[in-house]
Structure 1
């Protein structure tokens, strides 16, 4: 938890993409509710020139704040617009100022181009919507563009793939600053899965079907309830009434990842919850979540969260949801 996160500002411009604006507002502009005991932020929407902002889809916004609203913000989100290569010098200066003073810079979808044009992404990894990835890589060759994943968090610069991936990236930031319990509560409020790892694919080849017979969803639920057990591909395939090869292919088609990667992500998420809410030792947690031993747990936790289980527990133990 590098700094307090209290003030969140969204930067919009003419041609603003309304879904991105709505998603970010939904996550970061929720009033207090006793059922969630959620954190409440000083939330602002601003523009280079306050007043009427043309929106995509036949309706506009009225924005009261100028870019000075970003000057003390802890998290500044840049919302994409229809003309993603039309850069406003004032917004580029804003990007640099926000990053220069150590605040979190969050670019949703094609707003990643603003960060690239401002020079923030040179030598860094980032993502954007897969339709724009080739163009981003061609225009900014000093950037490592990762078109196949949901979001990237590189030293307080967060880039999301677009659309619903903005929710995943926002929940990631929420989790990093407030812990797994708060992030899960936020996800529950907006009725989405509590965690999709940033490395998960942007899209899957086979959409989830609506009947339990045709989808792996019931199996995923069962796996979540049995993480502490040995869940080999062979055992899972047998439970799904498929050959191991067919099951592995079907699993990737439906989830965008492998069974092992999916289980590791879920085990790390459960580890977070137990570190926050229980007095279990690291060895006991490792056994409970299916990592087997403390060394394996520490390895995966550090790889996925960039910190040790002990440091995570010291940071978030006792943090109110």
Structure 2
């Protein structure tokens, strides 16, 4: 092997080493970006968990609102979200439903639904009741309290909201309309009792009386519905599987309890990324082959020139 060939091999080895060093430098440059992305993901997860902990601690104890403000007729609705362990959602749902059906006087069960957990889904339930004013606070205290055998921190009031709808104008308008209809019915009745009415006049009056009576009944039903909304309150309780316990190891316990769904979600994300990358593989391979071909052509063109320069 002459010195020219040895020089060429040395230069080729030098270029190969340089390419490897550039590739290694590129990979090392990408590592901080990957670490930054992972840190951002962890930060978002911590912020989300911190927000959940803040939400769990935010609601104050339930306070029954005033029934009337400055003579206004108000219809109240209360929405509560209770956090429980996944296996305690069904018992609390049954207790809240049976409390309305069997133990609370004047309680009307409007809605009761439950969904079992499966896969990545968490169990959840909802109970909606209509209660007299005096029964609202005791019922709310019951559904937000632990059941026998549970600790005080096994139940967490995550969220509560109270809304009031002013029905003063609607009730006044309904009352005026009902008074007008009653007065119209009275005048029609007096007109029908006249002795000089013809048969066709009596038929028309009877038809008009029937229409007025129907409108009176509809208006009275509307007023009864408005009165019921003012005289009672609607309470909606949503039971949600969440972390009710506090402590240093509460996040670890939560992640461990959901290790199966988390692993499934991660595997699904990896599979989604793989499937999304498949259409790009031919393009990447073609680009790599094209670059390799160009590099070989340039190498062959440069090789004779180096041979001519050698002594």
User: TM bucket by the smaller chain?
Assistant: under 0.3
Give the number of the structure whose residues are more often helix, by fraction.
Answer: 2
- Which structure is higher in RCO with an 8 Å CA cutoff and minimum separation 6? 2
- Under a length normalisation based on structure 1, what TM-score does the superposition of the two structures give? 0.20
